[in-house]
Amino acid sequence: MKLWDKGKKINDLIETFTIGKDQEMDLFLAKFDVIGSLAHIKMLEHIGLLDSKELTLLSKELKSIHHEIVAGKFAIEEGVEDIHSQVELMLTARLGEIGKKIHSGRSRNDQVLLDLKLFTRDAIQTVTENTVNLFHILIAQSNKYKEVLMPGYTHLQVAMPSSFGLWFGAYAESLTDDLILLQAAYRVADQNPLGSAAGYGSSFPLNRQMTTDLLGFETLNFNVVYAQMGRGKMERSVLFAMASIASTLSRLAYDVCLFMSQNFDFVKLPDDLTTGSSIMPHKKNPDVFELLRAHCNKIQSLPAQMLTVTNNLPSGYFRDMQLTKELFIPAFQELNDCIQIASFAIENMTINEHILEDSKYRFLYSVEEVNRLVLAGTPFRDAYREIGSLIEKDQFYPDKNIHHTHEGSIGNLSLGPIEAKMNQVVSEFKFEKATQAIESLLGE
């Protein structure tokens, strides 16, 4: 069954190629397609294209279909092209001619735009919640190990004293910036495209503000041509933000792999979080972080792939857009898996609290000694040369007591302000508006 079927059979090879993975991807959109239809029919009744009895019957059946989807009892039948066709087919089978009225004032173009935006809002909320959970684990570890020093590096050369408090806290604060980008992407997604139809609007007197309010969108994609042009752009914006989170995780994973090697011996994972070797009985490999790094690097490639698919298209709809689903929809599960496994591993990580007892790290304190001389009145360049000379003569014996007090340093991690920054970012998503609107639609 195809909504555009005019009684002529399409070649099987062409049909298979053009449908592609649409049915598989559309299952992720199924409940959102129903939610969008619930809002659409309320608007149709409001403008006189449905009567109140028809609205009641359609609403009841759509909610029944939504329940089937949530319960895992829903499928797109063989021969049915997509989720939009499946829902309309089910309504027509159950309600007869009334089911055929649901598509008035819509195209599959604005249906899929709407489905993707509703899906994206929901998916971003889940990513945000998982990211915030990881953030709090990093903050807790930062606070737990704030007194434990470790080497800091530049050019992978021993540089200056750092601490595990700084290390864990750095990745926590990085996540706050990542969520600022995700919040911007959420705002791009939080605009209603419904009513743009095939990209040129409708001669029906559609009330687009009504569906915007019913679905809890912040605003409209006002221009109907731009609403269609936004497909691919919205996904790309979201993927860039997801890639930023993935970049933070990938860098963290690289650190852990490095720090777990025997040459560093800074951190350890429990045995049940590591894997072994088929021939080397002593091996305890950080495979979880190596795979985490690979998955996150893969996610970072997705914005470029999305750009490549959509970059040279003129205005209007083209079937190229179908492929954007395959890049976009699975990315959320992959990123969520990465965030959750990182949270679990970081929470169970232990650290070496005696790293700097090794004499090879004594030069870490050279800047501290230069600064002590400066505080005593020696010009910085003279102090620099004096400490450098002691190091060259192997006469450098540092005082290992460190006194940093400024914001964000070893002695003042500023974890409270970092948490406040994260709380502010999360509060500005305003997820509750969308949640309450959807609950109201489904609950009536």
State the CATH number of the domain containing residue 67.
1.10.275.10
Residue 19 confidence class, pLDDT cut points 50, 70, 90: low
In a domain, 2, yes or no: no
Percent of the chain with pLDDT over 70: 96
In a domain, 198, yes or no: yes
Q: 314 pLDDT exceeds 90?
A: no
Instruction: Examine the domain organization and report whether 406 and 421 are in the same domain.
Output: no
Report pLDDT digits (tens) over 335-370: 999 999 999 999 999 999 999 999 889 999 999 999
In a domain, 1, yes or no: no
Residue 321 confidence class, pLDDT cut points 50, 70, 90: confident
Report pLDDT digits (tens) over 271-285: 888 887 778 878 888
What is the three-state SS of the chain? CCCCCCCCCCCHHHHHHHHCCHHHHHHHHHHHHHHHHHHHHHHHHHCCCCCHHHHHHHHHHHHHHHHHHHCCCCCCCCCCCCHHHHHHHHHHHHHHHHHHHHHCCCCHHHHHHHHHHHHHHHHHHHHHHHHHHHHHHHHHHHHHCCCCEEEEEECCEEEEEEEHHHHHHHHHHHHHHHHHHHHHHHHHHCEECCCCCCCCCCCCCCCHHHHHHHCCCCEECCCHHHHHHCCCHHHHHHHHHHHHHHHHHHHHHHHHHHHHCCCCCCEECCHHHCECCCCCCCCCECHHHHHHHHHHHHHHHHHHHHHHHHCCCCCCCCHHHHHHHHHHHHHHHHHHHHHHHHHHHHHCCEECCCHHHCHHHHHHHHHHHHHHHHHCCCCHHHHHHHHHHHHHCCCCCCCCCCCCCCCCECCECCHHHHHHHHHHHHHCCCHHHHHHHHHHHHHC
Our count of domains for the chain comes to 3
Q: What is the CATH number of the domain that holds 231?
A: 1.20.200.10
Q: 66 pLDDT exceeds 60?
A: yes
In a domain, 236, yes or no: yes
Query: Which pLDDT does position 434 carry in this prediction?
Result: 97
Q: 267 pLDDT exceeds 70?
A: yes
In a domain, 6, yes or no: no
Contact between 355 and 361 under an 8 Å Cβ cutoff? The reply is yes
Instruction: Examine the domain organization and report whether 167 and 61 are in the same domain.
Output: no
Instruction: Examine the domain organization and report whether 285 and 168 are in the same domain.
Output: yes
Q: 1 pLDDT exceeds 80?
A: no
Report pLDDT digits (tens) over 365-386: 999 999 999 999 999 999 999 9
C-alpha to C-alpha distances, 222 to 32, 109, 192, 227, nearest whole angstrom? 21, 16, 8, 7
Residue 8 confidence class, pLDDT cut points 50, 70, 90: low
Query: Which pLDDT does position 15 carry in this prediction?
Result: 67
Query: Which pLDDT does position 444 carry in this prediction?
Result: 62
In a domain, 137, yes or no: yes
Instruction: Examine the domain organization and report whether 307 and 332 are in the same domain.
Output: yes
Instruction: Examine the domain organization and report whether 240 and 348 are in the same domain.
Output: yes
Report pLDDT digits (tens) over 140-189: 999 999 999 999 999 999 999 999 999 999 999 999 999 999 999 999 99
In a domain, 156, yes or no: no
Report pLDDT digits (tens) over 70-125: 999 999 998 888 899 999 999 999 999 999 999 999 999 999 999 999 999 999 99
Rounded mean pLDDT, 183-211: 96
Query: Residue 365 sits in which domain range?
Result: 359-411
Instruction: Examine the domain organization and report whether 432 and 377 are in the same domain.
Output: no
In a domain, 190, yes or no: yes
Report pLDDT digits (tens) over 412-430: 999 999 999 999 999 999 9
Report pLDDT digits (tens) over 210-244: 999 999 999 999 999 999 999 999 999 999 999 99
Instruction: Examine the domain organization and report whether 290 and 215 are in the same domain.
Output: yes
Instruction: Examine the domain organization and report whether 172 and 192 are in the same domain.
Output: yes
Instruction: Examine the domain organization and report whether 371 and 391 are in the same domain.
Output: yes
Mean residue pLDDT across the chain: 92
Rounded mean pLDDT, 392-408: 90
Instruction: Examine the domain organization and report whether 212 and 303 are in the same domain.
Output: yes
Query: Which pLDDT does position 4 carry in this prediction?
Result: 45
Rounded to two decimals, the pTM is: 0.92
Instruction: Examine the domain organization and report whether 297 and 220 are in the same domain.
Output: yes
Instruction: Examine the domain organization and report whether 194 and 60 are in the same domain.
Output: no
